[in-house]
Amino acid sequence: MTQTSAALLRLRLRTELRKARIAAGLTQRQVAEKMEWSPSKLIRIEAGEVGISINDLRPLAAAYNISDRRKVEELLTMARGSRRMPFSEYRDMFSKDFMQFLALESAASINRQFGSLTIPGLLQTEEYMRAVFGSYDKDSPEEQIERYVEARLARQEVLEDVQGCEFFFILDESVVRRVAGGKGVMRAQLEHLADLAERPNINLLILPFSVGAHPGILGPFTLFEFRDEVMEDALFLEDSRGTTTAATDPVEARQYLERFWELEDLAIKDGVEVVLRRLAERVAEGGDDLEVLLQREPS
């Protein structure tokens, strides 16, 4: 069982159980009382924060009046396959929302991100990661930073599955202009971005300063979409502290998808790898607008 399928199975299971409870006309508190559980246990199961054992799932299905043997077996199969969630070894480091983010990231079929502060984690080089993590808290122990780097590098494995997820990244110009970790680190990071932009499953766009105020000005966000029809689109917002928060309203997720499309219309799409390689060459100089770099003939 792969990490991706384990994540998707747990997400499907929590969705199915929530729908079954609602169809049975039961509140979470009523179910908890019926099962002799604490209310928080059911809340955490439906949120996908914890799995559910086979011994708990059978009576829960009965409580929801699920009598079809094939349906019960389908739920049991999901529960068996979802026991080990992605990145569970880092649970002590990350918030519940970010653990949910990691699970969805590993299971999504489309990943859309707008970055206005730093290069998105999936696209970062190891040296850039260390520079960014070190800037958050200069007193962080080295071993803690190394664990964050280890987790982020593990996340990047999802980029290698060209038959899996398709990625759309829109980066504000400030993200590729701001030097992090020194000129050498930033030059290598920009060259890495250019290499990634040439991959068939990665779409990299840059939002130039020349567009002025824009629909993404309030900050970074991520949208996940899924092939599985049971799964709803998921929206995560990042605040100024770097905290990733799940937004549960499907209407809000749709609004952010439309906002992402607006940003796509404003962004530079063609020749992005050319811009990035020329920025890498001139990382210490600054100067020209992106449009000038895009139009300039190689010297």
88-295 adopts what CATH topology?
A: Endonuclease; Chain A (3.30.870)
The answer on pLDDT for 282 being more than 70 is yes
Q: Tell me, what's the pLDDT at 292?
A: 59
Residue type at 298 in one-letter notation: P
Whole-structure pTM value: 0.76
Cβ-in-10-Å burial (0-12, 13-18, 19+) of 141 comes to: exposed
Structurally, at CATH architecture level, domain 3-81 sits in Orthogonal Bundle (1.10)
Please, where in the chain does CATH 1.10.260.40 lie? 3-81
**Comparison of pLDDT for 168 and 245, the residue scoring more:** 168
The answer on pLDDT for 285 being more than 90 is no
Please, where in the chain does CATH 3.30.870.10 lie? 88-295
The answer on pLDDT for 27 being more than 60 is yes
pLDDT tens digits along 197-249: 999 999 999 999 999 999 998 889 999 998 876 678 889 998 766 667 888 78
Give whichever of 102-106, 162-166, 211-215, 283-287 has the largest mean pLDDT: 211-215
Half-sphere exposure of 285 (CA within 13 A, CB side): 9
